[in-house]
Chain A
């Protein structure tokens, strides 16, 4: 409680365990919340293992998502394939700079930023004194909020492939990158959801005990 300015008492400091779902508090030692039926953990250190596991599969899936084509476009008798970055460059050279930026932000900047942010947060809770918790919690909030928006590119592929089916004049089919990209987004979302943000607020290793 020596944090400057505010004097905040946590449930853990008072010997209580709080339910992360319905915010009810119970005496320490209880393992399920009677109100909503969730499992109770004062601090979920095991959650970090899940965070790392999901994050690693997420990163692995992101590699083929960038190497393989996202779209296969057939116009008359020419078939062309485009990857995520290739497609964005195409758009930019055809004058659609704004959309190219949206695609690049949603499919490259956000996913890579998320990998870094989740990795950093998971490492930072081991030595919490390095950056003020307020900023780290804000980072967590942003990651949790923004992660789903990477799905845009998958939906674009879905809409284009359903819509552009015009015999031999033009047709668009999804490429294998669509699925690995979707999986990468899903896995990183699971990584962010698994993280227990209360770890951010605990002061140095001293509170790392029990459960």
Chain B
């Protein structure tokens, strides 16, 4: 946590870290595992290493990919009104806009936000971290991969989709009987795992590792 503003004056550039949010300079010192280095004035977390982070993130990312396959294939929700029933999968929800015309682009967005982007991010993170765990140099293109994985972060909206489900269900709960399919529970777990994986990843540690081993 020591980040003496004066010390930052004449440190070598390699040991200096600048807050990406407010440009304040600090002496980059790796905190203890589980500890954090936080910017003094804007409170952005600068460095937050976690024990065994790479291995755990890889394991969680694999889980994300497997669960997502299950969550898109199995039935998600079902309704039953007056003897008429219908089941929908996550993919059906995304493709609900395939009516033609401009609506198709909305299907593409929704499928991207809730299915494709979380899976692509997980795959990219596995690609970046696997060689680091094995103690080797990064695979070709690892930096670009990690850059994209970070850029896609705000566009991964699985957790928003699950809240959307809650809202949609309360809208129709008085009109219809609702059945929860296996995919619903998979998706609920998936949301927790995505949040967990993101919270374990420490950007600064990973960039440093990518730099040193390349």
Q: Which residues on A are within 8 Å of B, measured CB to CB? A: 6-12, 14, 16, 18-27, 35-38, 91, 94, 96, 99, 102-103, 133-134, 137, 144, 147-149, 151-167, 169-170, 173-174, 176, 178-179, 182, 186, 189, 193, 197-198, 200-201
Contact = CB atoms under 8 A, between A and B. Distances in A.
Contact of B165 (A35, A134, A159): A159
Contacts, number: 218
Interface of B: 5-6, 8-9, 13, 16-25, 28, 40-42, 46, 77-79, 81-82, 84-86, 88, 92-97, 99, 102-103, 105-106, 109-110, 113-114, 143-144, 146-147, 150, 154-155, 157, 160-161, 163-165, 167-168, 170-172, 174-176, 203-204, 207, 210-211
A10 B154 contact: no
A11 B207 contact: no
Chain B contact residues: over half helix, strand or loop, or mixed? helix
Contacts of B18: 10-11, 16, 18-19, 23-25
Contact of B41 (A11, A134, A178): A134
Given A148-B157, A200-B22, A166 B84 contact: yes
Nearest to A173: B99
Given A179-B103, A201-B22, 4 more contacts: A8-B40, A10-B22, A25-B16, A179-B97
Contacts of B157: 148, 151, 155
B23 A189 contact: no
Contacts of A22: 203-204, 207
Given A8-B41, A155-B164, A166-B84, A178 B143 contact: no
12 contacts: A9-B8, A23-B17, A36-B143, A148-B154, A151-B113, A156-B167, A161-B96, A167-B84, A169-B84, A170-B175, A174-B97, A186-B109
Contacts of A170: 81, 84, 175-176
A165 B144 CA distance: 43
A152 B96 contact: no
Contacts of A162: 88, 92-93, 95-96
